[in-house]
Amino acid sequence: MAKRPRRILRRRWATTEGWRGTRAGMWAWLVQRGAAVALLLVIALHLRNPFIRPVQAVLLGLVLLHALLGVRAILLDFGLPVRWHRSLLVLAVVVGAAIFAAFWGWRWS
C-alpha cells in the first residue's frame, strides 16, 4: 500500500490567527526587513529627484530604523543579555526618533 504523505501544519500568515502570537522580537525583525525593502523604493525615488522634502524625510526615517535595529541585532550577537531585547527595541525607536527630530530641527525647520 502506498504510504500516505505526512501532513504538517504551518502558520498561515494571511489569517489573523497567524499573527495573534506575534511579539516584540518578531516585530523588530519584520520592521527591519520591511524598512530594507521600503528603502529600495524610496532610494529610487530620491535618486530621481533628491530635493523632495517628504521623500528625504521618509528616507532618513527608514535609514535610522533599519540601522538602529541592525545595531540592536549586533549587540545581541555580541553577548548583550537576550532578556534586554524588548528594551533595546524601544531604545532603537526612541534614539531613531530623537535623531530624526534633531536633524529636522537643524536642517529642515
Partner 1 sequence: MVLKVFRWTPGFRERIQRFWVPAREGMTVLDALVDAQRRLDPTLAFRYACRVGMCGSCAMVVNGRERWACRTLLKSLRTGIVTVRPLYHFPLIRDLVVDMAPLAEQNARVGGAFVPKEATPAAARIPAGAPERGRIDPAIECIGCGMCVSACTMVANDERFPGPAALNRLYTLQADSRDGAHEDRSAVMLSEDTLTRCHTEMNCTDVCPMGISPTASILALRRLAVRGLFR
Report d(CA 56, CA 79) in Å as an integer: 35
Q: In this chain, which stretch among 10-18, 45-53, 55-63, 92-100 interacts with partner 1, using CB under 8 A?
A: 10-18
Touching partner 1, residues 11-40 (CB under 8 A): 11, 17-21, 23-26, 29
15: left (phi over 0), alpha (psi -120 to 50) or beta: beta
Q: How far is the CB of 27 from partner 1 (least distance, A)?
A: 9
Q: In this chain, which stretch among 37-45, 46-54, 60-68, 69-77 interacts with partner 1, using CB under 8 A?
A: 69-77
Nearest CA among 33, 40, 34 for reference residue 73:
33
